[in-house]
Structures are given as structure tokens and as C-alpha cells.
Amino acid sequence: MGDLMRSGLLALGLLACAAPAAAADHWRPIFNGRDLSGWVPKVNHHPLGENWRDTFRAGDGVLRVSYDRYDVFKDEFAHLIYRTPLSSYRLRFEYRFVGPQTPGAPAWAVRNSGVMLHGQAPETMALDQSFPVSVEAQLLGGASGETRPTGNVCTPGVTVAIAGVTRTEHCLNSTSRTYPDGEWVRFEVEVHGGRLVRHLVNGETVMEYTDVRLAPSEYAGLHADAAALGQEPAPLEGGYISLQGEGHPLEFRKIEVLELP
């Protein structure tokens, strides 16, 4: 074997070995574990940026959705929005539900949260807007003996397609098992614009959908300036990530993003 060929094969081998490490290095934390830098809260009935009753708190590597300063929950649905819009990426984190439901919170919100994808710009949310127009990777927990999968998809103001068929149901269940209070769950979403989205729970794909589109009849009651979005079910190719609070305390940690080409 000639020296030139030998050198070429060695270089290819080094590249092959280096590629996984280089890819891993592109994961970057978007939560610093200490404060809410890079994020902005939007709580229903309160202006953007007001962290009502310290709903969102950070420290010791954990981002907490807390309700211990609420006397009663009065539909203060909350979203902590990452300030940088994204289109194609992988997002991963761990979450767990902790403690009891907040008095006044709806029954359906027990052990219920989510990560919103392709959300509208935070500045366009109305004062009295419960949820951003977005596609939601729903996070659920279950009581002992209860069957309640996590990693479902919900669609505030959008539609998705599964197996090529557009679905109009608000929420569709995944194939995941049920996870109880207090157990850290590894969650990942793989997002390729509006063309393909996958939800993974503890490394297993539990939900996959395509063709994420704005749904005028759905977002009309959500968006502060719905008329500006037009009347066509336009493809939704990017937007803002947000973490949700619906009345049940929970915690997040190890929140990281890997941007894709």
C-alpha cells in the first residue's frame, strides 16, 4: 500500500472516530441551572415578563414550576418561553411531577404539563391568552394503577398528520408507559421543521407526526392578532419552545438543544 493511500485511510479513520464526539459537542444547555436567563415567563392574565407569584424558579440545577405562593389557582396557565426561535433541532431534558395538585386547578391538569414547540412569538400573546399557538409534546404522570401515557401530542391552534392523515383531535395518545410522581423521566423531541416531529421517552420513540400546520378555526380564539396569520392552513416550520405550568408542581433539569441542518 502506498504512503499516500495509507495516509488517506488514516485520515478517514480519524474523521470517523471524531464524528460522534463532534456531534455530541454541539449539544448546548439552554438552562444554566441558576436562574431564568434566556427565558421569559408569560402567565395568563399577566403581562409578558411578569413571573406571577414566582411560578418559575431556578436553583441547584433544577427549574421548578411551583405553586406554594398561590392561595388558589384561577386559570393562571403559565409558559416559560425560550427567547430564541428554532426550526430543526433536538431538544432533551428530564422532568418529574412532585407534590399535590394546586387548589382550584382543573381536574384534567393533574400531573399535566408539556413542552410547546413552534410557538408564536411571546410578544404576540394576549394578556388573557391561556396557551400559545403551538404544537405541544404533552407530559403526563399517573397515579398508582392508572394507565396514562406521556409524550402525547396536543394541538392548540394547529393540526398534525399521522400516517398521512390530518388529525383534528386536540390530543392524541402516544405508546409510552405510565410514569408516577417523583420519577425522573428522560424526554426528547426531534424536530425537522413542520415536516416531521418525533417524541422519545427514555430513549424509545413513542409518537411521530408530520405536516404541522396552522389551523385558522383553532387559533382564532388563541392568538392576539389572529387576523395577521391569514385564513389558510399554512405550514408551521419554526417558532418558540416553552415549558408549561397548568397547576401541578413539577421540575425540569438538564435542558439541552442540538440544532440540526
Give residue-wise pLDDT tens across range 174-185: 999 999 999 999
**Residue at 20 is within a domain:** no
Which regions of the chain are under pLDDT 70? 1-25, 217-232
Give residue-wise pLDDT tens across range 179-228: 999 999 999 999 999 999 999 999 999 999 999 999 876 665 665 555 55
pLDDT, residue 3, reads 47
**Residue at 170 is within a domain:** yes
**Residue at 8 is within a domain:** no
**Residue at 10 is within a domain:** no
C-alpha cell at 156: 392548540
Count of domains for the chain: 1
**Residue at 19 is within a domain:** no
Residues 6+ apart with CB under 8 A from 176: 149, 150, 151, 201, 204, 206, 207
Alpha carbon 67 to its chain centroid, in Å, reads 20
Residues of the domain holding 247: 30-259
CB 104 within 8 A of CB 73: yes
pLDDT, residue 225, reads 58
Reduced to 3 states (helix: H, G, I; strand: E, B; else coil), residue 177 is coil
**Residue at 2 is within a domain:** no
**Residue at 12 is within a domain:** no
pLDDT, residue 25, reads 60
CATH code for the domain in which residue 113 is found: 2.60.120.560
**Residue at 7 is within a domain:** no
Alpha carbon 201 to its chain centroid, in Å, reads 13
